[in-house]
Amino acid sequence: MQEQQPSQGSKISNFEWGLVTGAALVVDTVQVFLNMFAIGIIANRGIDIVVGMALPLYFYLRGVKLDSKKVFSWIGSFIAEEIPIVDSLPLWSGDVLLTMALDKADKKLPKLPI
């Protein structure tokens, strides 16, 4: 009899993915609102630093495999969020959705017995 291997992906449920996506949407919305005022120039940089460190830490603690695609996605989103006009785009939300898609793809790939 063959022993079943545990699944590859993270321990994040669909409901939890929805909560994380919702939180990222809230952060992006707050940043767009702050960009309408002068405070956004400074406040958004602080928000980006906190979110840019918290998201990868959260994903790591929840078992998301840290491969190069996800790491470059996080770094790219962080750098793009530091550009004044570009930071109005919902980059954090897109990053969470991309990480979710890549994580779910990791779960579906069969592990080859080598």
Contact 103, 62 (CB under 8 A): no
Q: Is a pLDDT exceeding 90 seen at residue 113?
A: no
| Sign of the torsion formed by the C-alpha atoms of 112, 13, 17 and 49 | negative
Domains held by the chain: number: 1
Q: Is a pLDDT exceeding 50 seen at residue 9?
A: yes
Judge whether 111 lies within some domain: no
Judge whether 2 lies within some domain: no
Contact 73, 110 (CB under 8 A): no
Judge whether 112 lies within some domain: no
Range of the domain at 54: 14-106
**Could you tell me the end-to-end alpha-carbon distance of the chain, in angstroms, rounded to an integer?**
17
- For the chain, how many helices (H) and strands (E)? 4, 0
Judge whether 87 lies within some domain: yes
Confidence tier at 107 by pLDDT (50, 70, 90): confident
Judge whether 45 lies within some domain: yes
